[in-house]
């Protein structure tokens, strides 16, 4: 399995050639930014650990990636969710379905709180979305790949773009890259994201630049402009992007390009997450197609 060094290719976006780092192609089952964030647990010694505790939404990308990790490392996973919709229980699909197939123990508990969970000796807890220090291990490797690639290509003026959830990936990337990292908050607005950065890194000089959007977007909600940009990218590049984060990622890049310098190069990071489209795409089609 080739977990490291994903390919980089050129695509055209809004009449500009940009580079695309294909972290979605890292591996068939263990890819995208969750693979980077969980890489620490993939390659380091876990002999005294027989269970990973985590939590989040029942359709989270991290749930699926964790399930693959658990399978490879033969470690049990208890994944707590506050709520599983009856529709999902009756029609398992996407990340939820695959995680169950991989043996994750998904526990519905509306009162679960990781802060009060009593961790047993052979357990480790991974916070929602892998918002943990250990994530730095794999993201540093991603940064090194980018640095090496840019050197080989003799690119000096490079800006990195990626959309954020917890901001963990963007922050650790910036920490290990000399190029500026730009991101947009998909989950709770720029203020929330800034707080996330501070909780992982006190020194603001390592914080990525946050692009403010003129409109407020709510995570998981359907927006016409999201579906349009997703379809535009699919048509022009033949590459599928995720429907939760990437539409806002590209909208923020579009906004940035309007005032950017011509001579600088852009590298957008495709962070995977395509499995989630299995549920998002039908929702979009129902809402906007007919
Ligand atoms: C989890 C995820 C993100 C957000 O990553 P953070 O490190 O939490 O900011 C972005 N894109 C995709 C496809 C993801 O799965």
The three-state secondary structure class of 104 is coil
- Mean pLDDT over 110-121 rounds to 95
| pLDDT tier, 77 (very low <50, low <70, confident <90, very high otherwise) | very high
The residue-averaged pLDDT of 210-231 equals 96
Q: Rounded mean pLDDT of the chain?
A: 95
Structure tokens at 236: 């022009």
Quickly state the pLDDT bin for 289 (edges 50, 70, 90): confident
> What distance in angstroms lies between residue 32's CA and the mean position of ligand 1's atoms?
8
**Span from the CA of 290 to the centroid of ligand 1 (angstroms):** 30
Q: What percent of the chain has pLDDT over 70?
A: 98
Residues flanking ligand 1, CB < 6 Å: 32-34, 61, 129, 163-170, 242, 245, 271-273
What pLDDT is stored for residue 110 in this prediction?
96
Would the pLDDT of 116 be above 50? yes
Q: Is the pLDDT of residue 290 over 70?
A: no
Kindly give the distance from the C-alpha atom of residue 31 to the centroid of ligand 1, in angstroms, as a whole number: 12
Q: Which atom of ligand 1 is nearest to the CA of 242?
A: 13
Mean pLDDT over 76-80 rounds to: 98
Q: What is the mean pLDDT of residues 68-77?
A: 96
Which sign, positive or negative, has the C-alpha torsion 144, 150, 151, 157? negative
Beta-strand pair 16-22/8-13: antiparallel
DSSP assignment of 165-217:
SSSHHHHHHHHT-SSEEEEEESSSHHHHHHHHHHHH-S-GGGPPEEPPPSS--
State the pLDDT confidence band at 1, using cuts at 50, 70 and 90: very low
Could you tell me the distance, in angstroms and rounded to a whole number, from the CA of residue 173 to the centre of ligand 1? 13
Mean pLDDT for the stretch of residues 145-152: 97
Listed range (72-76, 130-134, 168-172) with the worst mean pLDDT: 130-134
Longest distance between any two alpha carbons in the chain, whole Å: 55
Domains for the chain: give ranges and CATH numbers: 8-29+134-288 (3.40.50.1100), 34-129 (3.40.50.1100)
User: Which atom belonging to ligand 1 lies closest to the Cα atom of 169?
Assistant: 7
Nearest atom of ligand 1 to the alpha carbon of 272: 13
**Three-state DSSP class for 78?**
strand
CA distance between the termini of the chain: 42
With a CB cutoff of 8 Å and minimum separation 6, the contacts of 279 are 59, 93, 94
Q: How confident is the model at residue 99 (pLDDT cuts 50, 70, 90)?
A: very high
Whether the pLDDT of residue 4 is over 90: the answer is no
Residue whose CB lies within 8 A of the most ligand 1 atoms, among 95, 130, 165, for a mutation test: 165
Confidence band for 223, pLDDT divided at 50, 70 and 90: very high
Measured CA to CA, the distance from residue 150 to residue 98 in angstroms comes to: 36
């Amino acid at each position: 399995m080739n977990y490291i060094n994903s390919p980089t290719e050129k695509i055209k976006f809004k009449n500009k050639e940009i580079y695309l780092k294909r972290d979605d192609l890292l591996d068939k089952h263990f890819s995208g930014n969750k693979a980077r964030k969980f890489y620490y647990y993939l390659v380091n010694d876990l002999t005294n650990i027989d269970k990973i505790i985590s939590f989040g939404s029942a359709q989270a990308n991290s749930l699926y990636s964790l399930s693959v990790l658990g399978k490879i490392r033969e470690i049990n996973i208890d994944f707590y969710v506050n709520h599983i919709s009856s529709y999902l229980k009756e029609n398992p699909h996407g990340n939820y379905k695959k995680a169950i197939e991989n043996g994750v123990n998904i526990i519905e508990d509306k009162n679960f709180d990781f802060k009060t969970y009593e961790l047993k000796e052979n357990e480790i807890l991974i916070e929602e979305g892998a918002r943990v220090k250990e994530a730095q291990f794999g993201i540093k490797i991603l940064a090194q790949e980018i640095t090496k690639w840019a050197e080989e290509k003799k690119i000096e003026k490079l800006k990195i773009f990626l959309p954020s959830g917890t901001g963990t990936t963007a922050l650790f990337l910036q920490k290990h890259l000399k190029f500026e990292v730009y991101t947009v908050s998909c989950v709770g607005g720029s203020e929330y994201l800034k707080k996330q950065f501070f909780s992982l890194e006190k020194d603001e000089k390592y914080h990525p630049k946050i692009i403010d959007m003129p409109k407020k977007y709510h995570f998981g909600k359907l927006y016409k402009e999201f579906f349009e940009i997703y379809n535009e990218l699919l048509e022009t590049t033949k590459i599928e992007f995720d429907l939760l984060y990437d539409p806002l990622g590209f909208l923020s890049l579009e906004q940035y390009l309007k005032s950017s310098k011509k001579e600088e190069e852009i590298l957008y990071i495709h962070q995977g997450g395509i499995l989630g489209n299995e549920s998002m795409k039908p929702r979009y089609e129902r809402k906007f197609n007919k």
